Chain A
């Protein structure tokens, strides 16, 4: 079992269905996946030459949305890369949670 799937199933206690979906998304791009694996190992965002997607580093996203943990931040980086307009809507809308 790979590092990410192991983390999602055992540490985050996700169902297999959700863990598989999350793993597929966050592993979509190698650069994002590697930074997420670094976060899983160290529980901090990579401080040296961090990846930038749409002007945002992982730490920037976490500052915008402190309720997100590493998985949420790196999945949001995938959303930023795939659909920047939608990601901007979420940022401008203040990440409404109900």
Chain B
């Protein structure tokens, strides 16, 4: 319809003859002109009115009210009193978990070469990944940074779980780091497609992440870190029980 309109208009006024008919109107190149909707005829208007009347409009009162769920963004920096881990049960297969953690007991761990320790880590990684049901499990990579306290990290941009070989002398921290970083991977998956108030809290937490170099106490307290520590504590506790047994 737009093409026909342009053609008719041009043929009716002729080239460069616009001043003759409308001396007070500036010439507008055809390419820059907006499309003008012509008024409806009475018949068209009548037909449209008939269609509107035929519509069965639902009364406003019958619409489902939108449920507003409050999101407490204050908790993003204070952590929660209790963590349910969205029902992800790290003890879903206690026998398998204990068998895996047996490799992390001090006696066994100290007899392993570095590659054997990495195999133990891979086994625990597979188990925890199964518990979490990650859609896109991260890759594991190792680095060697001779810096005390630097155990590892999770990079959401590359979906990589990094572990510092230098800190692998401590088996319980090695096991803890795997669970801790995988929980971060889970949090990031939730934050990327938020469905619950906690998912939005994760999102807010990652957008406003507090680094340990800026404030160690607030780094520890923020939700995403406090929850990851609480999740990994379950692994540490299970390992401690094996040691006692």
Do the two shown chains form a genuine complex with each other? yes
Q: Which residues of A contact B (CB under 8 A)?
A: 12, 14-15, 17-18, 21-22, 25, 65-69, 71-72, 75-76, 79, 83, 86-87, 90, 94-98
A12–B229 CA distance with the chains assembled, in angstroms: 27
Indicate whether A95 sits within 8 Å of B216 (C-beta atoms), given known contacts A21-B77, A67-B147: yes
A31–B206 CA distance with the chains assembled, in angstroms: 32
A17–B209 CA distance with the chains assembled, in angstroms: 10
Please tell me which one of the listed residues B150, B207, B218 contacts residue A21 in the complex, with CB atoms under 8 A apart.
Answer: B218
Q: Flag if A95 contacts B213 (CB, 8 Å).
A: no
Within B133-189, which residues are at the interface with A (CB < 8 Å)? 147-153, 173, 176-177, 180-181
Q: Report chain B residues within 8 Å CB of A17.
A: 208
Known interface pairs A18-B208, A94-B149; 7 further A-B residue pairs with C-beta atoms within 8 A, sorted by A's residue number: A15-B207, A17-B208, A18-B209, A79-B216, A95-B148, A95-B216, A98-B232
Q: Flag if A75 contacts B147 (CB, 8 Å).
A: no
A72–B152 CA distance with the chains assembled, in angstroms: 20
Q: Flag if B217 contacts A75 (CB, 8 Å).
A: yes
Q: Report chain A residues within 8 Å CB of B232.
A: 98
Within B31-89, which residues are at the interface with A (CB < 8 Å)? 77
Indicate whether A96 sits within 8 Å of B147 (C-beta atoms), given known contacts A15-B207, A75-B214: no
Q: Flag if B151 contacts A98 (CB, 8 Å).
A: yes
Q: Report chain A residues within 8 Å CB of B218.
A: 21, 25, 75
Please tell me which one of the listed residues B181, B212, B215 contacts residue A67 in the complex, with CB atoms under 8 A apart.
Answer: B212
User: Which of A66, A72, A83 has the most B CB atoms < 10 Å from its CB?
Assistant: A72
The total number of A-B Cβ pairs within 8 Å is 78
A83–B210 CA distance with the chains assembled, in angstroms: 19
User: Which of A69, A75, A79, A96 has the most B CB atoms < 10 Å from its CB?
Assistant: A96
Please tell me which one of the listed residues A14, A21, A22, A90 contacts residue B216 in the complex, with CB atoms under 8 A apart.
Answer: A90
Q: Report chain B residues within 8 Å CB of A96.
A: 149, 151, 173
Q: Report chain B residues within 8 Å CB of A76.
A: 215-217
Taking the closest CB of chain B, its distance from the CB of A54, in whole angstroms, is: 14
B228 adjacent to chain A (CB < 8 Å): yes
Please tell me which one of the listed residues B149, B207, B208 contacts residue A97 in the complex, with CB atoms under 8 A apart.
Answer: B149
Q: Flag if A18 contacts B216 (CB, 8 Å).
A: no
Chain A residue with minimal CB distance to B177? A98
Taking the closest CB of chain A, its distance from the CB of B187, in whole angstroms, is: 13
What are 19 contact pairs spanning A and B, CB under 8 A?
A21-B77, A22-B215, A25-B218, A65-B149, A65-B216, A66-B147, A67-B150, A68-B213, A68-B214, A75-B216, A75-B217, A94-B148, A95-B216, A97-B149, A98-B151, A98-B152, A98-B176, A98-B228, A98-B232
Taking the closest CB of chain A, its distance from the CB of B128, in whole angstroms, is: 14
